[in-house]
Amino acid sequence: MKWLCAFLKGTKDGEANRRRPRVTAGEETTLWEEPVRPKKEEPPRHNNEEMDHALALALADDAKNTKERNHDKGENDEELARAIQDSLNMNPYQPYNPCAPSQTQARSRGYRVCGGCKHEIGHGHYLSCMGMYWHPQCFRCSSCRHPIRETEVFSGSDSLLYSVSQFTLLGTDPYHKLCYKELHHPKCDVCLQFIPTNRTGLIEYRAHPFWGQKYCPLHEHDRTPRCCSCEKMEPRNTKYMSLGDGRSLCMECLDSAIMDTGECQPLYHSIRDYYEGMNMKLDQQIPMLLVERQALNEAMEGESKGPHHMPETRGLCLSEEQTVTSILRRPRIGANRLLDMKTQPQKLTRRCEVTAILVLFGLPRLLTGSILAHELMHGWLRLKGYRNLKAEIEEGICQVMSYLWLESEILPSTSRYGQASTSYASSSSSSYRPPPSKKGGISHTEKKLGEFFLHQIANDTSSAYGDGFRAAYAAVNKYGLRQSLNHIRLTGGFPV
């Protein structure tokens, strides 16, 4: 304010000086004198100072208000620019993320770093997900590695399907909805479609306990073929072989299937040799025939009495005289069915306690052999005078012999459970273990099939075959086969 007062004072003094002519000594000067004008009466000096002070205060207040208005205008401009930027970044289809930070939190950081490329996100479009920010081109599916965009195009059978961008999080990994479904939603191994959800919204399916084949529950009732050997269901892109009696066979089982009686004879003799090596020689030559399903069922009905049978009978040890139709020549394979099967009737006469052993045709070699080992044990028990055994005892010990033979085929050098297959030798003079009956060993596929048959025997749920096997196996594993058989002869039960 002092400078303002000085300025005002200096202005008046200056005007007075300009009006006053300069006079210098020694110069002739004609003086011009300004006409005297009547002077206005000036207010008192102290009144001028008060006016100057008020004026200075007014100017200072005006300058202060102008500065504040400019400051407020700058803040408003900044808010406006920020709002415009946010509106440009706003995506009407923001990906769902309950943990995404608010825009206020993001602004408080001062800058945004892309969660993909780790570079700063400048002006432009960006995405917010999983507590991070992303360039649109950096937010990618963890499966296909393509960006997850605002809109996605999926090709259908004859059209293009446009869908609003949606994604699924698995931990911290984002996926396209369809990519996630392809990776993690189970598909039916039969119809090859995604397994649908049930009424409660849960995915419900069936799975084979050994093979792990998953399928929709409806396939259990829609007549989908199932392999009569390995129990796998027929996939839609594969055709099983029809055996003509209501049974179907998959291609893996068909590869080692035995189709006629002559083809089965070498296997039958090798199993008799296996018994002889265990000091359990069969004294009688028991006929063996491969038969159709109908012939086997008829023969089973003709038995006045006999061992307990499973719901699906695959083998039979006959003790009655019957006429049975056997398969004489291997049928031809064509168009997923068997052709030109030649059969012949054969009359079986009783010369001893056992008339014949019948086995269902068309089963893989290992399954056919396990059936033969089981039925031969029935014959051995009858020929050795074991009478009136309970179903759990007789079927249990027969299943043990079937199990031990299978082990000798797929595990020729060591036993899966240790002592069971050698325990008989420990109580006798023999340590015989025959080589696999198939020349050149067995393939990986056939070995896996043999493991399945072992699994079936060990996990059977029936009282005679399942519980009987487990009780017999425990006795044989503990006391040996010879001592267990002697105990059965004396007591009619297993040693405990």
List Cβ neighbours of 263 (8 Å cut-off, separation of 6 or more).
Answer: 290, 330
pLDDT band at 122 (very low <50, low <70, confident <90, very high): confident
Portion of the chain with pLDDT greater than 90, in percent: 39
Distance CA 170, CA 177 (A): 11
| Window from 48-57, 113-122, 226-235, 327-336 with minimum mean pLDDT | 48-57
Better-predicted residue by pLDDT, 177 or 304? 177
Question: Would you state the pLDDT for residue 479?
Answer: 96
419 pLDDT above the threshold of 70: no
| Window from 119-123, 186-190, 238-242 with minimum mean pLDDT | 119-123
Distance CA 190, CA 214 (A): 8
What are the Cα distances from residue 368, in Å, to 229, 247, 267, 314, 357? 10, 15, 9, 9, 12
Question: Would you state the pLDDT for residue 26?
Answer: 40
Question: Would you state the pLDDT for residue 333?
Answer: 74
Could you tell me if 358 and 324 are in contact, meaning their C-beta atoms sit under 8 angstroms apart? yes
pLDDT band at 407 (very low <50, low <70, confident <90, very high): very high
Distance CA 467, CA 464 (A): 6
β-strand partners of 167: 176
Of 50-59, 222-231, 309-318, highest mean pLDDT:
222-231
Question: Would you state the pLDDT for residue 64?
Answer: 59
3-state secondary structure the chain: CHHHHHHHHHHHHHHHHHHCCCCCCCCCCCCCCCCCCCCCCCCCHHHHHHHHHHHHHHHHHHHHHHHHHHHHHHHHHHHHHHHHHHHHHCCCCCCCCCCCCCHHHHHHHCCEEECCCCCEECCCCCEEECCEEECCCCCECCCCCCECCCEEEEECCCCEEEEECCEEEECCEEEEHHHHHHHHCCECCCCCCECCECCCCCECCEECCCCCCEECHHHHCCCCCEECCCCCECCCCCCCEECCCCCEECHHHHCCEECCHHHHHHHHHHHHHHHHHCCCCCCCCCCEEEECHHHHHHHHHHCCCCCCCCCCCCEEEECCCEEEEEEEECCEEECCEEECCEEEEEEECCCCCCCEEEEECCEEHHHHHHHHHHHHHHHHHHHCCCCCCCHHHHHHHHHHHHHHHHHHHHCCCCCCCCCCCCHHHHCCCCCCCCCCCCCCCCCHHHHHHHHHHHHHHHCCCCHHHHHHHHHHHHHHHHHCHHHHHHHHHHHCCCCC
Handedness of CA 6, 7, 9, 10 (dihedral sign): positive
Question: Would you state the pLDDT for residue 284?
Answer: 86
- What's the chain's average pLDDT? 75
pTM exceeds 0.75: no
8 pLDDT above the threshold of 70: no
| Window from 123-132, 265-274, 476-485 with minimum mean pLDDT | 123-132
How many residues belong to the chain? Answer: 496
Question: Would you state the pLDDT for residue 195?
Answer: 92
Question: Would you state the pLDDT for residue 312?
Answer: 73
282 pLDDT above the threshold of 60: yes
Question: Would you state the pLDDT for residue 322?
Answer: 76
Handedness of CA 269, 275, 281, 282 (dihedral sign): negative
What is the pLDDT averaged over residues 46-64? Answer: 60
What is the pLDDT averaged over residues 445-450? Answer: 95
Distance CA 407, CA 221 (A): 35
| Window from 119-128, 183-192, 281-290 with minimum mean pLDDT | 119-128
Q: What angle do CA 398, 400, 404 make, to 5 degrees?
A: 120
The pLDDT tens digits for 184-238 are 889 999 999 999 988 998 889 999 999 999 999 999 999 999 999 999 999 998 8
pLDDT band at 452 (very low <50, low <70, confident <90, very high): very high
Question: Would you state the pLDDT for residue 98?
Answer: 41
What is the pLDDT averaged over residues 467-485? Answer: 96
Better-predicted residue by pLDDT, 140 or 65? 140
What is the pLDDT averaged over residues 308-336? Answer: 76
Phi, psi dihedral angles at 333 (to 5 degrees): -110, 125
pLDDT band at 2 (very low <50, low <70, confident <90, very high): very low
Question: Would you state the pLDDT for residue 228?
Answer: 94
